[in-house]
Amino acid sequence: MLPLHVANKIAAGEVVERPASVVKELVENALDAGASKIEVSVVQGGRKLVAVQDDGCGMSREDAILSLERQATSKIRDVDDIEQIDTLGFRGEAIPSIASVSRFTLTTRRRESDEGTMLQVNAGTLAEISAAGCPPGTRVEVRDLFCNVPARRKFLRSFATEEAHVKHIFAIHALAHPSVAFSLSVDGRDLYRLAPSASASDRVRDIFGAEFAESLLPVDNTATEPARDCPIHVSGYIERPNISTPTRREQYIFVNGRPATSASISYALREAYPRRQGDARPAAILFIELPPGQVDVNVHPTKREVRFRDNNAIKRAIASAIERALFIQPTTVEPPTAVKMPEPQAVKMSVPPVIERPVPPVIEKSTRPVTPTLPTPAPVAVELPLAAADSEKPKPWAWFHYLATTASGYLMIETDAGIVTINPHAARERIAFERLQATDVSQALLIPETVQLPPHDFARLKAALPTIESMGFRLEPFGRDTFKVEAVPQVIDGLTASAVLATIARDLAEGSGHRSGGRWREDIIARSVAKSFAGMSLSLTEEGAVKLVEELASCRMPYVCPRGKPVMIFTSTRELNRKFSRD
């Protein structure tokens, strides 16, 4: 049997990687103790000192001494508890592991006790036990980390690097528990002093700032009906797809209050969020709550990863929450007074009757006549009647004014929350993409078209024929390496069948078929539509520009094109005011 000090050093190697690991274990112990206030202090990146003080339940003299024994403070009482873990710490290894590789001092007092207890441990050897005058709660000071393990100490990075890891650990625990007051002091300087927040949004703003907080959309799947056998609540925040400036790309995931992640969560985020150019991942802060018995937190030595009993249920819950966040329309700003839209003189337009509805508010637009040789008058707000089929669709804005089309071809509109710049080419790709996804309506060709392809491309299309036909094509092999095309999807009117089929074949060659079933079909459609429309010219009148914006607003995901490029860039009124120094 290994000597105790050797076993503790081995355990320390798994639990204590660096000073930030000490902060993590001590903060989690404080939270498990019911603390409402946690103060963290580090010196020299935590190499010289890590101190964590809380106002939790504290420990008696006997429990304080017992906490130095491995597994003595474990929250697990029997084998069944392993499957119902609802605390952050549960193994009882943190305190003895940390004390075995540092100069360790623990001071603690229970609220009902007249005096507290102080323990001093030098590299795993108990040096002193004494009574102490101290406030209720526990204070742990860890000095000279890895003082007796020089090889481990050499692997520590610079003070700045270790400090950055400490800040990260501090931030994720402060995010996970907004009702608890947190403070962080580095080398005697107060970096954070976070008061108990009424909501998670307040804590996000306190840690990351108002600009980052405004780049996020709230996530909540409460309105969706959870599975009866495994209720899963997903809340938090996800980055807006159309923000004008890049933000930090961190993803903070919490499972039952524990900072953790899993392959299922990463997959769900990747699949549910619209694709971006270069596969850039969005910033996300997600809180996942489910019964403890449905998640295994005892997978990784440092509890970084978790495992779920029903991975598909987790994926569905996250996807549902993110979709709701991205497609919910803001309704906080009332549109300006509207006037009736006059009918254009050149073209007769069939306008459906006005649909009375409180949500979403009517979309509004300008009705200035097209007079390119005259100065442009100020925009006028007008009422846009919506068809009944569109009345229930959420929009990316409550109302909009068309402002102008720039010389470089971008559309400028004003919305309830700021200014939006739209790339009309990308907008057209998104509109065509979603129409192709939503319907498989075919348009028969008056004269069937024959399309000859290189042998490899022909073979790829033939293997994927059911998918191609589900997109609205009707084609059949017609001789060597040739298809006879009898019908094409209505949405690609104006494109040749040969161009689109060649694009699909190239996409298959690039490996789209290696993805999962639903995403594979989506990738084929996205690439073919985007690439096929990319080379077509686009010249818009004002009425055409307004119509394009209306159609874009009806899209399920209007923020990015199928290739992941932004369709629109949003600049909030707050950001404009800040840049122009307006209060």
What pLDDT band is residue 348 in, cutting at 50, 70 and 90? very low
| pLDDT score of 179 | 95
Confidence check: pLDDT of 312 > 80: yes
| pLDDT score of 472 | 82
Peptide bond between residue 360 and the one before it cis (omega within 30 degrees of 0): yes
| pLDDT score of 186 | 97
C-alpha distance from residue 571 to each of 329, 365, 418, 516, 580 (Å): 17, 19, 6, 36, 13
Confidence check: pLDDT of 411 > 50: yes
| pLDDT score of 10 | 60
Confidence check: pLDDT of 229 > 60: no
Residue 563 or 576, more confident: 576
DSSP 57-71: ----HHHHHHTTSTT
Lowest pLDDT segment from 89-103, 274-288, 374-388, 533-547: 374-388
Q: What is the mean pLDDT of residues 395-404?
A: 89
Lowest pLDDT segment from 134-148, 164-178, 218-232, 565-579: 218-232
Confidence check: pLDDT of 62 > 90: yes
Q: What is the mean pLDDT of residues 196-210?
A: 88
Q: Which amino acid is at 481?
A: D
CB atoms within 10 A of CB 228: 6
Instruction: Answer for the pair 35, 180: CB distance below 8 angstroms, yes or no.
Output: yes
Q: Which domains are present in the chain?
A: 4-194 (3.30.565.10), 200-327 (3.30.230.10), 330-423+536-583 (3.30.1540.20), 440-534 (3.30.1370.100)
| pLDDT score of 523 | 67
Confidence check: pLDDT of 534 > 60: yes
| pLDDT score of 396 | 82
Sign of CA dihedral 206, 217, 570, 433: positive
Lowest pLDDT segment from 114-123, 144-153, 523-532: 523-532
Tell me the C-alpha distance between 497 and 506, whole Å: 14
Q: What are phi and psi of 518, to 5 degrees?
A: -65, -40
CB atoms within 10 A of CB 277: 11
Looking at mean pLDDT, say which of 130-144, 190-204, 497-511 comes out highest: 130-144
What pLDDT band is residue 287 in, cutting at 50, 70 and 90? very high
Q: What are phi and psi of 139, to 5 degrees?
A: -125, 130
Instruction: Answer for the pair 141, 23: CB distance below 8 angstroms, yes or no.
Output: no
Closest among 240, 274, 268 to 253, alpha carbons compared: 268
What pLDDT band is residue 241 in, cutting at 50, 70 and 90? confident
| pLDDT score of 550 | 94
DSSP 12-80: HHHH-SSHHHHHHHHHHHHHHTT-SEEEEEEEGGGTSEEEEEE-S----HHHHHHTTSTTTT-S--SGG
Q: Which amino acid is at 161?
A: T
Lowest pLDDT segment from 102-111, 246-255, 366-375: 366-375
Q: Which amino acid is at 189?
A: R
What pLDDT band is residue 359 in, cutting at 50, 70 and 90? low
What pLDDT band is residue 470 in, cutting at 50, 70 and 90? confident
Tell me the C-alpha distance between 326 and 85, whole Å: 33
Confidence check: pLDDT of 56 > 60: yes
| pLDDT score of 297 | 80
What pLDDT band is residue 384 in, cutting at 50, 70 and 90? very low
Confidence check: pLDDT of 390 > 70: no
C-alpha distance from residue 189 to each of 134, 194, 206, 253, 562 (Å): 23, 14, 17, 29, 48
Residue 145 or 563, more confident: 145
Contacts 24+ apart (CB under 8 A), 220-225: 220/321, 220/324, 220/325, 221/317, 221/320, 221/321, 221/324, 223/324, 224/317, 224/320, 224/321, 224/324
Confidence check: pLDDT of 446 > 80: yes
| pLDDT score of 82 | 52
Looking at mean pLDDT, say which of 299-308, 328-337, 521-530 comes out highest: 299-308
Q: Which amino acid is at 242?
A: N
CB hemisphere CA count around 31 (13 angstroms): 25
What pLDDT band is residue 398 in, cutting at 50, 70 and 90? confident
Sign of CA dihedral 67, 71, 72, 75: positive
Q: What are phi and psi of 458, to 5 degrees?
A: -60, -45
Q: What is the mean pLDDT of the chain?
A: 79
